């Protein structure tokens, strides 16, 4: 049994956000972190490993320095890493990103009991599209917004968060789950884990490694294969100063004057 976790390295938006003249984020000028929801996805996979002995594989698509993030996740307990990296993949939108990640999951190989984990959403692209799109491309059932996972003999029982409640679902494996922060508390790296992580296997999947997958066509990956691109990126206009009201009757008067009630 395998737990395959898709993890994205993102700019640390808690610090100063660098913006290019065209209004897009200057990723190269910012420190990077592991996408927060993805740490919950990794933790869920590690808990499953403790319960079942499954193998935990962390996968990222990104530039070569993203290897550092994979090593950190191996120091937390993941067994191996896959870095999907190549010029051909650059400029991918969510459609192309999910094509490539789905091909990487295919290359790793999906067995009947396997689970693909994703975070719900990345804090930079912010679309929450990649997990569901990977599931579609792999023809897998998916459950989003997962807050609890129980392994059963015939699949999983998972709890998902709704706006005003929860839903419990049975899902057959192989399946894809997108995880949110309510699922668990991610563990830290351990000292032995830090020593061991550089001895753990890390595969690099470049274009040549994935090109035989039917999902990988030159017109379905990279900038050329991206049907969407950012047309304009801008902050909302700054709101004017607010007004303090002394009483409800004053507020009702103002709303009346403006013909709002």
Query: Is 66 or 255 the residue whose CB approaches ligand FAD more closely?
Result: 66
Is 124 near ligand FAD (CB under 6 A)?
yes
Is 140 near ligand FAD (CB under 6 A)?
no
Is 126 near ligand FAD (CB under 6 A)?
yes
What is the spatial distance between Cα 215 and Cα 239, in angstroms, rounded to a whole number?
A: 46
- Give the distance from CA 112 to its chain's centroid: 23
Query: Is 47 or 60 the residue whose CB approaches ligand FAD more closely?
Result: 60
Among 3, 4, 8, 138, binds ligand FAD (CB under 6 A): 8
9, 144, 174, 213, 216 from 141: Cα distances, Å: 26, 10, 8, 21, 22
Q: Would residue 122 be called left, alpha or beta, if left means φ above 0 and alpha means ψ between -120 and 50 degrees?
A: beta
Among 7, 48, 82, 140, binds ligand FAD (CB under 6 A): 7
Among 43, 72, 93, 114, binds ligand FAD (CB under 6 A): 93
What contacts 41, CB < 8 A, 6 or more positions away?
5, 6, 7, 117, 118, 119, 177, 178, 179
What is the spatial distance between Cα 174 and Cα 53, in angstroms, rounded to a whole number?
A: 17
Is 22 near ligand FAD (CB under 6 A)?
no
**Closest-CB residue for ligand FAD?**
125
User: Residues in the site for ligand FAD, rule: CB under 6 A?
Assistant: 6-8, 35, 37-38, 60-62, 91-94, 97, 101, 118-119, 121-122, 124-131, 223, 226, 228-230
């Amino acid at each position: 049994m395998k737990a395959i976790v898709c993890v994205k390295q993102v700019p640390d938006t808690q610090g100063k956000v660098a913006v290019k003249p065209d209004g897009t984020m200057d990723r190269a000028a910012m420190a990077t972190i592991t996408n927060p929801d993805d740490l919950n996805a990794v933790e869920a996979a590690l808990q499953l490993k403790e319960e079942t002995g499954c193998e935990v594989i962390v996968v990222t698509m990104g530039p070569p320095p993203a290897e550092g993030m994979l090593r950190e996740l191996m120091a937390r307990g993941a067994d191996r890493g896959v870095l999907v990296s190549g010029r051909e993949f650059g400029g991918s939108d969510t459609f192309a990103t999910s094509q490539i990640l789905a091909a990487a999951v295919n290359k790793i190989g999906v067995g009947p009991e396997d689970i693909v984990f994703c975070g719900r959403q990345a804090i930079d692209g912010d679309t929450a599209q990649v997990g569901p799109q990977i599931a579609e491309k792999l023809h897998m059932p998916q459950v989003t917004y997962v807050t609890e996972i129980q392994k059963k003999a015939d699949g999983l029982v998972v709890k998902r968060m709704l706006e005003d409640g929860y839903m419990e679902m049975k899902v057959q494996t192989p399946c894809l789950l997108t995880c949110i922060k309510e699922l668990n508390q991610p563990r830290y790296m351990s000292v032995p884990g830090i020593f061991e992580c550089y001895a753990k296997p890390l595969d690099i999947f470049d274009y040549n490694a994935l090109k035989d997958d039917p999902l990988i066509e030159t017109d379905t990956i990279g900038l050329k294969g991206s049907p969407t691109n950012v047309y304009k990126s801008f902050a909302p206009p700054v709101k004017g100063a607010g007004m303090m009201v002394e009483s409800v009757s004053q507020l009702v008067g103002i709303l009346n004057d403006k013909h709002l009630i």
